[in-house]
Amino acid sequence: MKRNLCLLVAACCGFASLSLAQPGLPEKEKEKKGFFFGGPKNEVRKVVKDFDKDGDGRLNTVERKAAREFLAQQGGGKGKGPGGFGPGGPGGFGPGMMFAKPLLEAIDKEKTGKINAKQAEAAIAGFFATADKEKKNALDEAQLSEAIAGVMPPPPNFGGLGPPKKGGFGGGFNPGAMVAPAIMKKADANKDGKVSLKELQEAAAVQFKESDKNKDGTLDEAELAEAASKVIGAGGPIRFPFGPGGGFPGREKSEPGKPGPRVSPSEAKSYPDAGFYDAGVLRTVFIDFENKDWEPELAAFYKTDVEVPATITVDGRKYENVGVHFRGMSSFFGVQAGSKRSLNLSMDFVDGKQRLHGYKTINLLNSHDDPTYLHTVLYSHIARQHLPAPKANFVKVVINGESWGVYVNAQQFNKEFTKESFQSAKGARWKVQGSPGGQGGLGYLGDDLAAYKRIYSIKSKDDDKDWKALAELCKTLDKTPLDKLEDALKPIFDIDGALWFLAIDVALINGDGYWTRASDYTIYRDPKGVFHIVPHDMNEAFGPAMGPGMGFGGKGKGPKEGGGGSPVALDPLVGLEDSRKPLRSRLLAVPSLRKKYLSFVAQIAERDLDWKNLGPVVKQYRDLIDREIELDTRKLSSLEAFRRLTGDEAPRAEEGRGRSLSLRQFADARREFLLNHPEVKAARQ
């Protein structure tokens, strides 16, 4: 059962690349078996080919209906459960589907491809005996949570595990806080707040019977996936595994979404001559689906290759047959049905030449866990002062005539981006998926290209010459003697761009950044063979250092007070001993590059974080979207929080901790900390 719960936790988390350690299994074998979620192993499920009866490469209404029915039978459910989890999870991506196979392998000692009720009962008994340390024959939620955290194998480089420390900070990652409520709700028959071994086994027996569709007394992989998904779905919306009770301090609970105001295209102002990412305009994007049940349909096809067609109207012009799907991970799983979820629009779904203001892919983000709405647009604004980075602004979205409020419009990393930023649509592009411990830090993994293909997702033509070049870059970066590293990299790597990337990543405390997870960024190899590092996934910035294994102030220490008290005291030289992140540990070990990096940090602190410069940008965006946020009935945080956290007034010293930091409070405190850091001060001289 230890193994069962470990896998259950990993599937439920929404975090990519949690290592599902298998006792006695070497690391290379884990990788071969796909034991790391979040990289190329976590790609979309291929569905179109099996249901495309007319052979046009997409699914029509009838074909989509058949595909949905099939996915529901496979444990997909209807996507109507709390937090996006129906009985079997949202469509073809129920949480149980992510780990049913390794779970089966762990329990099925006889390798029959199935598990029986006796095996399940024995696994539960073994776990209970370990968890019941006080031998009271009962476990409360805290004990259950602690036991799960205790048996969850720590992912590489993810810090310690276990419950948060007093106050909700530090203490590492607590997966038990996410899964224990679901198990308690399912198994606590007498509602005394505890579960006995008998209750656990009886609940498991009921679930086993329900999931045994063919009544053969066993569960195969598909049935096991459905059983696990139902257990997870019983616990309600997903609870984040950091902070008191499994949540970020200061995080609001969003209210269920309600129908918004009706809006017609004739009421929307058009901006035909303004750029699609113009910061000064708020366009309205109308999305019209042929079916009223578009939301459960999108949920059903989450993480599959099925696009749901819609008509898009922007600036008075209609675009037919645009493909739409839900996107994101925590921004999907952490949001209940009926509330705002992130969307992806494929303008070229049917017509390969169709573009919206020159762009074929549109990303509309729901500002999940960002009550300011501004993290992505501000990060983009600052980053673009120093290196090529995706553009971002705001749009208003209307679906089937009903307003769904303000979305962040973030530029896609594709040929259009490279043509704008690097003057070429050619070259190779990779995305490094979100993965704490996913090994995406450009470390050298040997000459076998398969090792890199398991971690880095190529978004351009899959050519081995580009993969060989990537492996060579990793080898050069990771293995070249430090006194020769700069000269070795110059012909193949944009060093200054990488240093700016690292400086912005840390200065703005990107919680999904390279410094903490070595992931959530993109790589471009231009036609001349030079590699460039490009920011990606910029919404979890402008907050405290709360990454894996971090305490309240992170690892940073203030130059005078010794750190610890400030929520933004992340040392700009964090992670220099971490060999898994050679962009930091190797580049910054070269004295000249370290000095240049620190000078970049100083420039960001001195200019970009100065409220005299940043404040007017915040005000411009706030004034642009304030009224629409007030009217938004499906927003994920409150109007009060938006106005308070984007306000111009500097809050009192005792106000604002954790995620409740205002943008001004973050900017002022982070700027002061960085400019007073001894090595940053030295680099400015």
Report pLDDT digits (tens) over 494-535. Answer: 999 999 999 999 999 998 889 988 888 999 999 999 999 999
Distance CA 391, CA 384 (A): 8
Mean pLDDT of the chain: 81
- Whether residue 164 has pLDDT greater than 60: no
3-state class (DSSP) for residue 462: coil
Question: Within 10 A of 258 (CB to CB), how many other CB atoms are there?
Answer: 9
**Tens digit of each residue's pLDDT (9 = 90 or more) over 57-82:** 999 999 999 999 998 876 544 443 33
Percent of residues, the chain, with pLDDT higher than 70: 75
- Whether residue 554 has pLDDT greater than 50: no
CA angle 107, 213, 199 (to 5 degrees): 60
- The pLDDT assigned to 179 comes to 67
- The pLDDT assigned to 412 comes to 97
- Whether residue 22 has pLDDT greater than 90: no
CB 181 within 8 A of CB 236: yes
If residue 343 lies in a helix (H) or strand (E), which one and from where to where?
strand 343-346
- The pLDDT assigned to 33 comes to 35
Which ranges in 108-220 belong to alpha helices (H)? Answer: 117-131, 141-151, 176-187, 197-211
**Tens digit of each residue's pLDDT (9 = 90 or more) over 184-207:** 888 888 988 899 999 988 988 888
Per-residue pLDDT band for 113 (boundaries 50, 70, 90) equals confident
If residue 246 lies in a helix (H) or strand (E), which one and from where to where?
none
- Whether residue 372 has pLDDT greater than 50: yes
- Whether residue 250 has pLDDT greater than 70: no
- Whether residue 370 has pLDDT greater than 50: yes
- Whether residue 483 has pLDDT greater than 50: yes
Please give the model's pTM, rounded to 2 decimal places: 0.76
**Tens digit of each residue's pLDDT (9 = 90 or more) over 377-429:** 999 999 999 999 999 999 999 999 999 999 999 999 999 999 999 999 999 99
**Tens digit of each residue's pLDDT (9 = 90 or more) over 309-334:** 999 999 999 999 999 999 988 788 88
- Whether residue 12 has pLDDT greater than 60: no
With tokens 């398969």, the residue in question is 450
Express the helix, strand and coil content of the chain in percent, nearest 5 each: 40, 10, 45
Which of 62-71, 173-182, 550-559, 671-680 has the weakest average pLDDT? 550-559
- Whether residue 89 has pLDDT greater than 90: no
Do β-strands 283-289 and 392-399 pair in parallel, antiparallel, or remain unpaired?
A: parallel
Which of 149-163, 200-214, 505-519, 633-647 has the weakest average pLDDT? 149-163
- The pLDDT assigned to 659 comes to 52
Per-residue pLDDT band for 568 (boundaries 50, 70, 90) equals very high
- The pLDDT assigned to 144 comes to 83
CB 261 within 8 A of CB 119: no
- Whether residue 556 has pLDDT greater than 80: no
- Whether residue 452 has pLDDT greater than 90: yes
The residues, ordered by sequence, that sit 6+ positions from 216 with a Cβ below 8 Å of its Cβ are: none
What's the chain's Rg over C-alpha atoms?
Answer: 25
149 vs 22, more confident: 149
Question: Within 10 A of 5 (CB to CB), how many other CB atoms are there?
Answer: 25
Distance CA 139, CA 134 (A): 9
Per-residue pLDDT band for 182 (boundaries 50, 70, 90) equals confident
- Whether residue 632 has pLDDT greater than 60: yes
- The tokens describing 117, both together, are 């009720």
The one-character DSSP state at 45 is B
- Can you tell me the mean pLDDT for 574-596? 95
Which strands, in side-by-side order, build the sheet including 521-525?
Answer: 456-458, 428-432, 521-525, 531-535
Per-residue pLDDT band for 129 (boundaries 50, 70, 90) equals confident
